Amino acid sequence: MRATTIHGTRDIRVEEIPDPTIEQPTDAIIRVTAACICGSDLWPYRGENPITPGNTIGHECIGVVEAVGSAVRDVAVGEHVVVPFCHCDNTCAHCRAGAQSACENLSMTVSGQSEYARVGQADGSLVSTHGLPDDDLLASVLTLTDVMPTGWHAAVSAGVAPGSTAVVVGDGAVGLCGVIAAKQLGAERIIVMSRHAARQDLARAFGATHVVEQRGAEGNAAVLEITDGVGVDAALECVGTDQSMSTAIAVTRPGGGVGFVGVPHGVKLPVRQLFAKNIGVRGGIAPVRRYLPELLDLVLERAIDPGRVFDLELPLEESPEGYRAMDERRAVKVMLRP
């Protein structure tokens, strides 16, 4: 099959590799109908994460079930499904507690940007779309593999509640989906921190009430000014840098919460500051399967339209250009079609 592979810093290729096969009786093989590039894929692309040359890359895809293992009972060949990037049995103690991304039988999608992908724990992981999504819904369904549930997880972890004030730190696809989540969960004021006009416009369309362009101390001051010096009830940290985490904590009111979903790189938590302000910090890898049923219903009912975060669509063969476009911030999020 054709698949996207990584060979070094900013060295993405599309190559022929062996098709995936059933390795465990709980596996399924998916024929990919749409995939995408995640902001977290840019960490290894930029050389910030270790790279094994020739490894496949990409963890977000939807598609049609091509084959299933002997133990799979609830997923049928021919079904169109959403593939959570983190696979779970959905029955272990951690899954039952809502932490499916820490499942005792956890595995991950490792070749999402390809023609076929293997999924572990198919019965617990895969969610049927009950037929091929309508053309205008396909992009939004694709976001349910990672980016929309991740933004939702940030809002839930931060404690967004009806009537609350939230800030979203980060204007990438996850941050923009965090705006959608905050709106759905009832936030009255939603501040997005963004310096890019197109992303600001999309954030406002999703429900943002205020935009802050400044960073660092100036950005913190701007958020505090909007909140009359009080701070926000909930901060959604959607980047993963020390600066973004510092900002999220600095603008959160005493007793508020920070939900972090940006993959941490060089982050150091100011424990004394958290202690003094009674700020809670929760988050991590999104338990996608936990949120999928509710989010799929919202998409199919056209109550939310997270697919608008895709502003560039390319054939799989042009995935290297997709990485360049996201790295250079010429695109928010790139869809790939095998």
Cα separation, 158 vs 125, in Å, equals 25
Residue 35 and residue 138 in contact, taking contact as beta carbons nearer than 8 Å: no
Sequential DSSP letters for 221-267: HHHHHHTTTS-EEEEEE-S-BHHHHHHHHHTEEEEEEEEE-SPPBS-
> CA angle 111-310-290, nearest 5°?
60
Sequential DSSP letters for 41-104: GHHHHTTSS---TTEE---EEEEEEEEE-TT--S--TT-EEEE-SEE--S-SHHHHTT-GGG-T
**Fold match, 2-146+287-337 / 148-283:** no
What pLDDT, on a 0 to 100 scale, did the predictor assign at position 131?
Answer: 86
In percent, the amount of the chain with pLDDT more than 70 equals 100
Which range (124-133, 277-286, 301-310) has the least confidence? 124-133
CB burial of residue 274 (10 Å; 0-12, 13-18, 19+): middle
Cα separation, 200 vs 197, in Å, equals 5
Please give the CATH topology (third level) of the domain spanning 148-283. Answer: Rossmann fold (3.40.50)
Q: Domain spans of the chain?
A: 2-146+287-337, 148-283
Which range (41-45, 133-137, 220-224, 322-326) has the least confidence? 133-137
Region 2-146+287-337: CATH code: 3.90.180.10
Q: What is the per-residue pLDDT across 32-90, written as a single tens digit (0 to 9) for each?
A: 999 999 999 999 999 999 999 999 999 999 999 999 999 999 999 999 999 999 999 99
Q: What is the per-residue pLDDT across 37-52, written as a single tens digit (0 to 9) for each?
A: 999 999 999 999 999 9
Look at the pTM and tell me if it is higher than 0.85.
yes
What pLDDT, on a 0 to 100 scale, did the predictor assign at position 324?
Answer: 98
pLDDT at 133 over 90: no
What pLDDT, on a 0 to 100 scale, did the predictor assign at position 234?
Answer: 98
